Amino acid sequence: MPSHPNVIDPAFTGEVQRESEQNLALCYQCGNCTAGCPVSFAYDYTVNQIMRLVQAGRKREALSSHAIWLCASCETCTTRCPNDIDVARVMDALRHMARREDMVSEKAVGAFWKSFLDSVEKHGRVYELGLMAAYAGRTGRMFTDVDLAPMALRKGKLGLKAHDIEKIAEIRGIFDRYREQQQ
């Protein structure tokens, strides 16, 4: 997606604020979140830059960033923020918005999350083998973790059959009604 770096959407800051229930104005750009972020090396923007993009109303850059999808939700930023901002929650909110606006940049991560939730919808629990197959199919990454399969199978760590829950209809009802609410 082409980015328009100078397009500013002043309403964006407020939207993130509402969705995350965090006051973005509290951030004074000290960089503690970046300093402690374990995945920062793989980001396109550092965490404090993401916060700055939100403060500056740069919606497109924030939502189409790779960083928000690579965040491991480890909560280090939230724990150490000197202004008590729940930064991880802001990252969550940005992911939700990116998905709604169809701006997910890390397709693989998006696909993995999707496969995971499909598995939950289908079985009520995560069926690890099915999940891997679905993910591989969706991304074309046929050999993902295939190196681990023999060991995982030998150790019985990759169940060959799904453990469907009894009242699977309840789970499907949850997903159905959730989708209705989203419309």
Partner 1 sequence: MSPRYAYYPGCSGLGSSLEYDTSTRAMCESLGVELVDIPDWNCCGSTPAHAVDHLLSACLAGRNLEIADGMAEERKLDGIITPCPSCLKNLKTTQRSLSDPEFRRKVEQVLGKPLRAGLPIKSVLQVVVEDLGVEALGRLVKTPLAGMRVVPYYGCIMVRPPRLMRFDDPENPMALDNLLRELGAEVLPFALKTDCCGAALGTVRKDVVARLSGRILDAAVEAGADAIVTACPLCQMNLDMRRPQINRANRSRHNLPVFYYSQLAGLASGQGEAATMMDKLCVSPRLLLNSLAQHTGERA
Partner 2 sequence: MNIGVFVCHCGSNIAGTVDTEAVAKAALEYREVVFATDAMYACSEPGQAGIVEAIGTYALDGVVVASCTPRMHEATFRRTLERAGLNRYMFEMANIREHVSWVGKDKAANTRKAAELVHMAVEKLRRNERLQAGEFDIAKRVMVIGGGVAGIQAALDCADGGLEVVLVEREPSIGGKMSKLDKTFPTVDCSSCILGPKMVDVAQHPNITLYALSEVDSVDGFVGNFNVTVRRKAAYVDWDACTGCGECAAKCPSKKTPDRFNEFIGLTTAINIPFPQAIPKKASINANACIKLTKGKCGACAKVCPTGAIRFDQKDELVTEKVGAIIAATGYDLFDFTKYGEYGGGRYPDVITAMQYERLLSASGPTEGHIRRPSDGAEPRDIVFIQCVGSRDKSIGRPYCTGFCCMYTAKQTILTKDHMPDSQSYVFYMDIRSPGKNYDEFTRRAMEEYGAKYIRGRVSAIQPKNGRYLVKGADTLLGRQVEIEADLVVLAVGAEAARGAGELAEKLRISYDPYGFFLEGHPKLKPVETNTAGVYLAGSCQGPKDIPSSVAQGGAAAAKALSLLSKDKLASDPQVSGVKLARCIGCGKCESVCPFGAIEMIEFRGMPKASIIETVCQGCGVCTAACPQGAAQLRHFTDNQILAEVNALCL
Residue 138 contacts partner 1 per CB under 8 A = no
User: Which position has the token pair 């679905």?
Assistant: 134
Whether 48 contacts 25, CB under 8 Å: no
Contact mark string toward partner 1, 13..52, x via CB under 8 A = -------------------------xx-xx----------
Residue 37 contacts partner 2 per CB under 8 A = yes
Given candidates 13, 20, 76, 119, which one binds partner 2 under the rule CB under 8 A? Answer: 76
Shortest Cβ 164–partner 2 spacing (Å):
43
Residue 149 contacts partner 1 per CB under 8 A = no
Given candidates 26, 42, 148, 165, which one binds partner 2 under the rule CB under 8 A? Answer: 26
Given candidates 84, 101, 170, 176, which one binds partner 2 under the rule CB under 8 A? Answer: 84
Residue 171 contacts partner 1 per CB under 8 A = yes
Exposed e or buried b per residue across 61-95, where buried means at least 16 C-beta atoms within 10 angstroms of its C-beta = bbbbbebbbbbeeeebbbeebeeebbbbbbbbbbb
Whether 32 contacts 2, CB under 8 Å: no
User: Which position has the token pair 């609410």?
Assistant: 181
Please list the helix, strand and coil fractions of the chain in percent, rounded to the nearest 5, in that order: 60, 0, 40
Where does this chain bind partner 2 (CB under 8 A)? 26, 28-37, 40-41, 45-46, 48-49, 76, 80-84
